[in-house]
Amino acid sequence: MARIVLCVDDDPDDRELIRNAIFKVDPSYTVAHATNGKEALQYLTRAEESDLPCLVILDINMPVMDGKQTLIEIKRNDKWNQMPIVVFSTSAHPSDLVFCQQFGVELVTKPANFNQITLEAERLLQHCAE
């Protein structure tokens, strides 16, 4: 798998924070991004088997296609369903947690500051090493 992290988030500030945090942890990663689930699925469809991300960071609340719909579509696809996915959201709603657990996906509440995001990125990138 490529050292690519796909960050799916409609908020440009959040995408930038995640990208900066990943680069701080390990600058050899490429961070691709999509602003909604539809763009993410288009990205995955175009990616070759060898270019699939080693991690998808998925926001829940997005326009066009939200993170839940996106997660369902990824898990339905035989080529993608083994990719590590982390749902990264401002929501800590119990129903979101239950939804993520059904798919065996971790729900991470977006940290408040850059240092916390960097620590989270360091932990999340371990999915790529597995």
Of 114 and 76, the one with more pLDDT:
76
Q: What is the pLDDT of residue 128?
A: 87
Q: Give the class (CATH, top level) of 4-129.
A: alpha beta
The answer to whether residue 1 scores a pLDDT higher than 60 is no
How far apart are the C-alpha atoms of 64 and 72, rounded to whole Å? 15
The answer to whether residue 97 scores a pLDDT higher than 80 is yes
Give Cβ neighbours of residue 41 (< 8 Å, ≥ 6 apart): 65, 70, 73, 74
How far apart are the C-alpha atoms of 30 and 44, rounded to whole Å? 15
Q: Is 62 exposed, middle or buried (0-12, 13-18, 19+ CB in 10 A)?
A: buried
Instruction: Name the percent of the chain lying above pLDDT 70.
Output: 98
Q: At 118, phi and psi to the nearest 5?
A: -65, -45
Q: What is the pLDDT of residue 2?
A: 66
pTM score: 0.92
For residue range 48-93, list pLDDT tens digits in order: 877 899 999 999 999 999 999 999 999 999 999 999 999 988 877 8
Q: What is the pLDDT of residue 92?
A: 74
